[in-house]
Amino acid sequence: MQQYDGLIIGGGAAGLMCAAVAGQRGKRMLVLEHTKKVGKKILMSGGGRCNFTNYQVEPSHFISKNPHFCVSALKRYTPYDFLSLVQKHDLAFHEKTLGQLFCDRSSKDILSILLAECEAAGVDIRTQCDVESIEYQAEQQDTRFQLSTSTGRVAAPSLVVATGGLSIPTMGATGFGYQVAGQFGLKVERREASLVPFTLSGDLLELAQSLAGVAVPVSVSCGDARFREAMLFTHKGLSGPAMLQISNYWQPGESIEVDFLPDVAIADCLAQWRTEGRKGELKNALAQLLPKRFVQAWLEHHSSVRSLGSTTLANLSKADTEALGQVLHRWTLVPAGTEGYRTAEVTRGGVSTDEVSSKTFEAKSVPGLYFIGEVLDVTGWLGGYNFQWAWASGHCAAQYL
Q: Say what the pLDDT of residue 351 is.
A: 98
331-364 pLDDT tens trace: 999 999 999 999 999 999 999 999 999 999 999 9
Confidence of residue 138 (pLDDT cuts 50, 70, 90): confident
Instruction: Label the pairing between strands 369-371 and 237-239.
Output: unpaired
- Is pLDDT at 161 greater than 90 in this prediction? yes
CA distances, 106 to each of 51, 52, 91 (Å): 10, 11, 10
Confidence of residue 266 (pLDDT cuts 50, 70, 90): very high
Confidence of residue 400 (pLDDT cuts 50, 70, 90): very high
Angle subtended at Cα 190 by Cα 362 and Cα 164, rounded to the nearest 5 degrees: 50
71-80 pLDDT tens trace: 999 999 999 9
Q: Say what the pLDDT of residue 278 is.
A: 86
Number of other CB atoms surrounding residue 58 within 10 Å: 12
Half-sphere exposure of 371 (CA within 13 A, CB side): 33
Cα distance between residue 204 and residue 236, in whole Å: 10
| The one-letter amino acid at 27 | K
**Mean pLDDT, rounded, for 185-200:** 98
Reported as type and span, the H/E element at residue 220 is: strand 215-222
Task: Report residue 236: phi and psi, to 5°.
Answer: -110, -20
Q: Say what the pLDDT of residue 329 is.
A: 98
Cα distance between residue 122 and residue 132, in whole Å: 25
- Is pLDDT at 42 greater than 90 in this prediction? yes
Q: Where are the beta strands (DSSP E) in 246-363?
A: 256-259, 331-333, 337-338, 346-348
Q: Are 205 and 232 in contact (CB under 8 A)?
A: no
Cα distance between residue 214 and residue 48, in whole Å: 23
Task: Report residue 30: phi and psi, to 5°.
Answer: -130, 125
Q: Could you give the percent of the chain with pLDDT greater than 70? A: 100
Cα distance between residue 348 and residue 81, in whole Å: 26
Number of other CB atoms surrounding residue 303 within 10 Å: 9
Q: Say what the pLDDT of residue 139 is.
A: 87
What is the average pLDDT score of the chain? 97
Q: Say what the pLDDT of residue 306 is.
A: 94
Confidence of residue 279 (pLDDT cuts 50, 70, 90): confident
Angle subtended at Cα 31 by Cα 27 and Cα 32, rounded to the nearest 5 degrees: 150
Higher pLDDT, residue 275 or 61:
61
Lowest-confidence pick of 28-32, 94-98, 264-268, 276-280: 276-280
